[in-house]
Amino acid sequence: MGMTMTQKILAAHAGLDSVTPGQLIEADLDLVLGNDITSPVAIHEIEKMKTEGVFHKDKIALVMDHFVPNKDIKSAEHCKCVREFACKHDITNYFDVGEMGIEHALLPEKGLTVAGDVIIGADSHTCTYGALGAFSTGVGSTDMAAGMATGKAWFKVPSAIKFTLTGKPAKWVSGKDIILHIIGMIGVDGALYKSMEFVGDGIQHLSMDDRFTIANMAIEGGGKNGIFPVDEKCQAYLKEHSMRPYKVYEADPDAVYDEEYTIDLSTLKSTVAFPHLPENTKTIDEAGDIKIDQVVIGSCTNGRYEDLRIAAEILKGKKVKKGVRTIVIPATQQIYLDAMEAGFIRTFIEAGAIVSTPTCGPCLGGYMGILAQGERCVSTTNRNFVGRMGHTESEIYLASPAVAAASAITGRISSPDEV
């Protein structure tokens, strides 16, 4: 029986010729990731193990991004804990204020994630790196601790779902619309503990930022991971960002999939996930008249350069509607700088938006955009659970940067074509 892309990567890292779905394996890790919320728990656990240091100081990444710059005493203490651990163990890839970024945008930008890697992170959206042809998945803080200590992790080999993407998306249809369409189709548990494997000639029309967005939200469909083939566009990205060698894996022709879907990207429309689940999707022409109080453009899902470019294109020469708080968050310092040099930051400020330092902030209801009772927000983030961004009686509508920017102008959920 042939293997999928994910299964081949896991087999290689377990030192096995082949693996089958459901098989338990121990695999070598290329990178272990933690942030300012999850790392302190892992650090306390690793201290209990009484191990001598970490398995490899270059293969651990600690990124302060959720409550950074620190919003209160507790978040400051968390960061202090991680900072001291990084210093004690001479961790090469420790990122704090000044060189920080949202972890899942920062690590590919720094070349720390490449094709063929096995990566675990104590953050559910670690599956982002599948856009580069890597197996990456979120784990708990205890598993992160074991990974930092041993450089290994246990996995149950996932079965897979194949998504064949064909056709070329329309102008305002992006990776966010594609993944929201898919989650709306299969549900939030439709790919539970399965690998979501994306193939097809439609991929050539997707930028790397589109692919990062799609892989990022595989977890919102229940997936263990999402993964893309390593094509010329991906290899060009790797060549630009990483000096580390990588290995390309391809699925066998006779690989077995639990389910297969074909999606014609040319037929998709801008899509919005209504409260309170990412599967509760409607196309923009089905949205109705939904007035909003806030817009957030950013996060590990949609805070990259292309996302800001699209938002700036729509906001250029226009004004945010009075009473709509519009918050733009570049995902890394480099993206912030590039956006500034391209004139996007001026566009946002002149339109009446504010621009924040890189942070996860409002995505998890941390800070920089908490919602009050009854308020509604259009957000380019990845989750719209009850209370996710503040009050349990607030509402989050997940959308692309294009829809978010258009909605900021009109004060209601709107198509980019309306403005």
Residue pLDDT, tens place only, 134-193 = 999 999 999 999 999 999 999 999 999 999 999 999 999 999 999 999 999 999 999 999
Place of tokens 């897979």: 160
pLDDT of 55-95, one tens digit each? 999 999 999 999 999 999 999 999 999 999 999 999 999 99
Helices (H) and strands (E) in the chain, counts: 13, 18
Q: What is the pLDDT of residue 398?
A: 98
Pairing of strands 259-264, 160-166: parallel
Is residue 51 pLDDT above 90, yes or no? Answer: no
Give the pTM: 0.95
407-416 mean pLDDT: 97
Q: Which amino acid is at 189?
A: D
222-233 mean pLDDT: 97
Regarding predicted confidence, which is higher, 98 or 13?
Answer: 13
* Domains present along the chain, CATH in parentheses: 5-263 (3.30.499.10), 271-418 (3.30.499.10)
Q: How many CB atoms lie within 10 A of CB 88?
A: 11
- When pLDDT is cut at 50, 70 and 90, the band that residue 243 belongs to is confident
Taking phi over 0 as left and psi of -120 to 50 as alpha, with beta for the rest, 278 belongs to alpha
In whole angstroms, give the CA distance from residue 333 to residue 110. 11
What are the backbone dihedrals phi and psi of residue 126, each rounded to the nearest 5 degrees, phi first?
A: -60, -20
